Amino acid sequence: MHRHRPPPLRLALFAAVGTTCFAVQAGILLALREAGAPDALANAVGFLVSAQVNFLLSTRFTWSDRRLPPSSPRPAAARWAAFQTTVALSLACNTGVFALASRFTGPVVAAAAGVGFGALLTFLASNHLIFRRRRTEPAPPTEHFGATLDDHRRPPAALARTADRTAAD
């Protein structure tokens, strides 16, 4: 069982995964741009591919202490689908910022600005919704009969009363 990650470590892992995914996005952006694709389309394709890499790396590294238990009613596919919803919202944010910033700077700097704004949205959604810490159900209370909390043996009188009630039923 993993311990919960301290926030500075989680942010460092989030940044490392994000940097890796930005490199994937920028590489695809530049390759598609070189092939003649419009900048906005090349950026969107790069973003969508990097988002899938991001989900895999985030699951493995950033949020690995919040893995779904095998008996979870929420399958990994539902987590992936929730991540895709965040990706769609982040893509809208990313593309809007990219379109605005690309009027004033080159495509890679504009993409970095889009990633920066999208990263905040992605981190908050991942931390509080997609990879949120699951509350475990409390164990049912146990009856306490002994002199200490560890002593759960029924006293002989209690056993006799239970037997009498069972016989009367």
Size (the chain), residues: 169
Residue 36 maps to a domain? yes
Percent of the residues in the chain that have a pLDDT greater than 90, as a whole number: 32
Q: Using one digit for the tens of pLDDT, what is the confidence trace for 22-59?
A: 899 999 999 999 999 999 899 889 988 998 999 999 98
131 — pLDDT class (breaks 50, 70, 90): confident
Q: How many domains does one find in the chain?
A: 1
Residue 40 maps to a domain? yes
Residue 106 maps to a domain? yes
Q: Cα separation of 77 and 154, whole Å?
A: 47
Statement: residue 167 has pLDDT above 70: no
What per-residue string of b and e applies to 35-50 under the rule 16 or more CB within 10 Å gives b? eebebeebbbbbbeeb
Assign 70 to helix, strand or coil. coil
Residue-range definition of the domain harbouring residue 52: 7-130
Statement: residue 162 has pLDDT above 80: no
Assign 4 to helix, strand or coil. coil
Backbone angles phi, psi at 38, to 5 degrees: -60, 150
12 — pLDDT class (breaks 50, 70, 90): very high
20 — pLDDT class (breaks 50, 70, 90): very high
Taking residues 121-132, what's their average pLDDT?
Answer: 86
Residue 49 maps to a domain? yes
Decide: 69 and 30 in contact? Cβ < 8 Å: no
Residue 84 maps to a domain? yes
Residue 104 maps to a domain? yes
Average pLDDT, the chain: 81
Lowest-confidence pick of 64-73, 117-126, 136-145: 136-145
Q: Cα separation of 22 and 14, whole Å?
A: 12
pTM for the model stands at 0.62
Decide: 91 and 97 in contact? Cβ < 8 Å: no
Residue 167 maps to a domain? no
Decide: 86 and 64 in contact? Cβ < 8 Å: no
Q: Cα separation of 7 and 110, whole Å?
A: 28
Residue 142 maps to a domain? no
